[in-house]
Amino acid sequence: MKNYFIIDQLVDDKVINALLAYDSYSPSMRETFLSHLFRAELLKCIKYPEISYRKFCTEEYFGLDRKQNRVFIGLPLHRQTTIDHYELSKFRNNLTFVQQINLLVYFLHHFYQSGLLGDCTLFGVDSTELANDCNIPLASMEIRGKKIRIYEDLDCDCGARRNKRDKSLFVVGYRMHTLTVIDVESKQSFPLVSLLAPANHHDSHFLPFLIKLAQAMGLDLSLVTADEAYHDKDGTLFEETGVIVTTPPSSKVNAPENVDAETGEVFCHNECVIPMQHVGSDGQELEYKCDAEPGQCLHSETCPQYRFLPMDSGLFQRMPFSSKGIEDAHEIRKNCERPFNLLKNQAGLEKIRVRSQHATMCRCTFATIVVLLIKMAGKRKKRKIAKEPMHLLERCANM
C-alpha cells in the first residue's frame, strides 16, 4: 500500500495531461482524462501483467468494490465510471513516439533525483526478443528470389533467437534494443530507453539511433559497453556523437605482429621487450610510443620508437583492450541483461498483448516507466556514498 502511495505521488496528473495533450484535446466536459488512461496502463503493468486487456477492462478490476484500483487511476468511488478496452486501445494507438519520449524524460528526472544511482556509473546496450503468438504465417510467397512470410501482426517477423535450452532457434516477433545505466559499485542496472524492430533486423543498425536519442533526451554518454553485434565498425558513431563504444574483442580478428594476443601489449619490433604506451588516436589509427626510460632500451638508437596500428573489432578498438578498466567494462556488460527480466516478468512483456509495432513500443515505454517507479518506490534508505568514487571512464583514461 505504501508503494502505491509513493508511485501515486510521482505521477503528477497535470504534467501527464500536458505531455500527452494533442492539438484538438480539450479537458472540458470530460469524465476520463489522458492521465486516467496512462494510470490504467501503469496499473495493468504493476498488478495485472499476465491478463489480457479485455479482461482487465471489466468490473472485476474496475468495479466500485475495487477502491484501491479506482483511487490510483482517479475514477470516482460513488458512480460506475469505467475505462473500456476500446479507450485504452485508442489511447495507445494515438500516443506518438515524441509523447512517449517526453513521458520517459519526466520519469527519468525523478529517477536521477531518487539517489538510486551512485557516483560511478556506466551505460550499456543490449537486446532481447519479444515473441508474438502469431507463429503460423497467414501467407508465404517468393518475390525476386526471396521468401516472404506475412503474419497476422504485419509489423513483426521471424528472426534467430539467442541460445536457449527450452526454446526454439527462431522467434516470431520483435527485438527490443535497450540502453541501460549500471551502478558499478552496487552492480544494479536500470532500463532507460528502448527502440523496437522486427526480430530479423541486425542489432548493429540500431546503436546510432539509440545513442542519438539518449543524447537528445539529455543523457550524458561518453562510454558505452555492448556485445560484438554493436561494434562501431567504421568510427562513424564516434565522429557523429563523441561516444566511445567498447565491445569484447572479436575472436575472428587476428592480432598484428609484435602484439601479445592475450594482453594486447604492443611492442615496436620482434626484439623489443618493453611494451609501448598508447598515446591517442589519429582518425582510424591508434598511436603508440616507446615507454622505455633513457638508457633502458638497447635499440633506442635504431628503432623509430613509435607505431601506428589500424583500429579493428579485436584488441585495437578506439579504447584498446590494454586500457585500464576495459576488462571491467566488458565484464559488467552482462548486467545489461537483468532489466530484461524485470521488463518481461515484472511488467508483462513476456507475452505481447497487443498488435502492431507501434502498440508494442508503447507497452515497452510503459514497462520501462513501471520498472523505474517500482525501484523508486521500494527505496527505503539513503545510499552510501563511496569515500573515493571514480567513474569507470576516468579509470580507463588513466592509462
* 399/43 Cα distance (integer angstroms): 49
CATH of 100-248+329-397, one of 3.30.420.10, 3.20.20.450, 3.40.50.10420, 1.10.287.990: 3.30.420.10
Residues 346-386 pLDDT 10s = 999 988 888 889 999 999 999 999 999 999 988 644 444 44
* 142/207 Cα distance (integer angstroms): 31
Whole-prediction pTM: 0.86
Question: Residue ranges of the domains in the chain?
Answer: 2-94, 100-248+329-397, 254-311
- Asked if 370 and 45 touch (Cβ cutoff 8 Å), the reply is yes
Q: What is the pLDDT of residue 6?
A: 83
* 156/295 Cα distance (integer angstroms): 66
Which of 379, 377, 347, 375 has its CA nearest to residue 5? 377
- Asked if 369 and 107 touch (Cβ cutoff 8 Å), the reply is yes
287 pairs with which residues across the strands?
A: 280, 308
Q: What is the pLDDT of residue 128?
A: 92
Sign of CA dihedral 25, 29, 32, 36: positive
Binned average pLDDT, 10 residues per bin, the chain of 399 residues: 75 93 76 92 93 92 91 89 90 94 96 90 93 81 83 84 70 92 92 93 89 94 91 86 92 90 89 89 88 82 87 90 88 90 91 88 96 84 44 44
Residues 37-54 pLDDT 10s = 999 999 999 999 989 999
Which of 298, 325, 309 has its CA nearest to residue 255? 309
Question: What is the C-alpha R_g of the chain?
Answer: 25
Report the chain's terminal Cα–Cα distance, integer Å: 50
